Amino acid sequence: MSYLDRAHALKEKLIAIRRDLHQHPELAFEEVRTAQRVAETLHDLGVEYETGVAKTGVVAYLGEGEPRFALRADMDALPILEANETEYKSQNPGKMHACGHDAHTTCLLGAAMLLNQDFKQGRLKGTVKLLFQPAEENAGKDGKSGGQLMVQEGALNNVDAVVGLHVISTLPSNEVYVRAGAFMAAVDGFEGEVIGRGGHGAYPHEALDPIWLSAHVINAIHGIVSRRMDPTKQGLISVCIINAGTALNIIPESVRLAGTIRSFEPSVRALLHGELEKAFAVTRAWGGDYKLKILHGYPTTVNDPKMTEFVREMATGLVGAERVKEAQLQMGAEDFSFMAQAKPGAFFYLGAKKDEVQRPHHNPVFDIDEAVLPTGAALLAEAARKFLSSSKILP
Ligand SMILES: [Zn+2]
Ligand SMILES: [Zn+2]
């Protein structure tokens, strides 16, 4: 029986796990209950595991010796008030699994169930490491995300390759999307302050209006991609926060401007940072000033070409060629990128569109088609099985 057939037999069990996690969402580095639930499931399977990895993460071990393969899932939720009225709605007000990480954790537990049987019956040789990482959505106070910390703590040492998946609520259910090379963008944040001189709204000439200065800064920022970046490259800067002012007749002292920067190539990333600095510097033409801090985020998620082909073939064998498609380049970012920097890696999408309602990621009505849970578990397990049983995937 294929892993897909065996995973289907686990469907109800997987749905129950996902709904339990969905009802108890926890934010980045607070995944205590989630990690406990993962640990309990592994314990019941008789699988060896370690807790407290990357603060609130769990790493499990199946088998021993070479080759060594890693599978990754993230566990954190988002600060969103769930608007769905399902029986498994979030019970933690203001917190929600609105990116599907509950499904990822469930799929990896499902893969553990499938692989564990084969290891116990001596059908698999080698090691499979299961990485249940915390904090994909947000870094801690030290600026480090869960995936970054896992790499730093050595969770990928001695591992030959790593694979992970993301469910996508807007793509057709049970379709697999793969892409070699750069797949998801590098992300940086910026925190800026446009500094003028406050005063009376009726006497602007005696003040230096920072709101007026900000308008020039925003225009300059939005000119960067079209006028300063090579048009054959990809990148973007979005101003997402603007705050200033207290009364209708007071010109404020300063304006806060903050946002996100996305790119794929290090040279473009550096160019965007430099040009952003210049955009803020237009404030000085009128005697104003600025402060600008770039917050370094995740690098570009680059899929290893050989591992991508390996995943494409594996998925084709499992779900059929008509369900395996080429993924488009994504401006979204992923901290799987740190793992793919450390070891040859492949990250792929699993379509999970539930119904005709628009349920985008990070939205209060986000939800997925739970029929993808067995597929996700089978894809992860099959990736591990195939990697352990093939001799030459990587040079
Ligand atoms: Zn997300
Ligand atoms: Zn996500």
Region 293-307: what's the mean pLDDT? Answer: 97
CATH number at residue 385: 3.40.630.10
CA 164 to ligand 2 center in whole angstroms:
11
Last residue of a domain, one of 260, 278, 296: 296
What is residue 394's predicted lDDT score, i.e. its pLDDT?
73
| Pair 262, 279 in one domain | yes
Domain hosting residue 155, numbered range: 3-181+301-389
| Pair 108, 224 in one domain | no
CATH number at residue 255: 3.30.70.360
- pLDDT over threshold 80, residue 251: yes
- pLDDT over threshold 90, residue 395: no
Residue at 198 is within a domain: yes
Which of the four pLDDT bands, split at 50, 70 and 90, describes residue 390? confident
Which of the four pLDDT bands, split at 50, 70 and 90, describes residue 1? confident
Backbone angles phi, psi at 276, to 5 degrees: -65, -40
As a whole number of angstroms, the distance between CA 393 and CA 395 comes to 7
Region 146-152: what's the mean pLDDT? Answer: 98
b/e code 87-117 from CB counts within 10 Å (16+ = b)? ebebebeebbbbbbbbbbbbbbbbbbbbbbe
What is residue 81's predicted lDDT score, i.e. its pLDDT?
98
**Cross-strand partners of 237:** 261
Region 358-382: what's the mean pLDDT? Answer: 98
What is residue 341's predicted lDDT score, i.e. its pLDDT?
97
CA 162 to ligand 2 center in whole angstroms:
17
The secondary structure of the chain in percent helix, strand, coil, rounded to multiples of 5, reads 35, 25, 35
Burial of 228 (0-12, 13-18, 19+ CB in 10 A): middle
- pLDDT over threshold 80, residue 365: yes
| Pair 261, 317 in one domain | no
* Percent of the chain scoring above 70 in pLDDT: 99
- The residue among 338, 369, 351, 354 whose CA lies nearest residue 162 is 338
| Pair 176, 236 in one domain | no
- Check residue 328 and report its DSSP letter: P
Region 207-224: what's the mean pLDDT? Answer: 98
What are the residues whose beta carbons fall under 8 Å from the beta carbon of 67, sequence distance 6 or more?
126, 127, 160, 387, 388
Provide the residues around ligand 2 (an ion) whose CB is within 5 A: 99
As a whole number of angstroms, the distance between CA 321 and CA 299 comes to 31
What is residue 159's predicted lDDT score, i.e. its pLDDT?
96
Query: In total, how many domains does the chain have?
Result: 2
* Percent of the chain scoring above 90 in pLDDT: 97
Last residue of a domain, one of 234, 263, 296: 296
CA 212 to ligand 2 center in whole angstroms:
37
Residue at 394 is within a domain: no
CA 335 to ligand 1 center in whole angstroms:
10
The per-residue pLDDT of the chain, averaged, comes to: 97
| Ligand approaching nearest to the C-alpha of 98 | 1
Q: What is the pLDDT of residues 18-58, one digit of tens each?
A: 999 999 999 999 999 999 999 999 999 999 999 999 999 99
As a whole number of angstroms, the distance between CA 310 and CA 161 comes to 11
CA 249 to ligand 2 center in whole angstroms:
44
- pLDDT over threshold 90, residue 124: yes
Residue at 243 is within a domain: yes
| Pair 27, 83 in one domain | yes
Q: What is the bridge-based pairing of β-strands 199-200 and 250-251?
A: antiparallel
| Ligand approaching nearest to the C-alpha of 347 | 2
| Pair 275, 330 in one domain | no
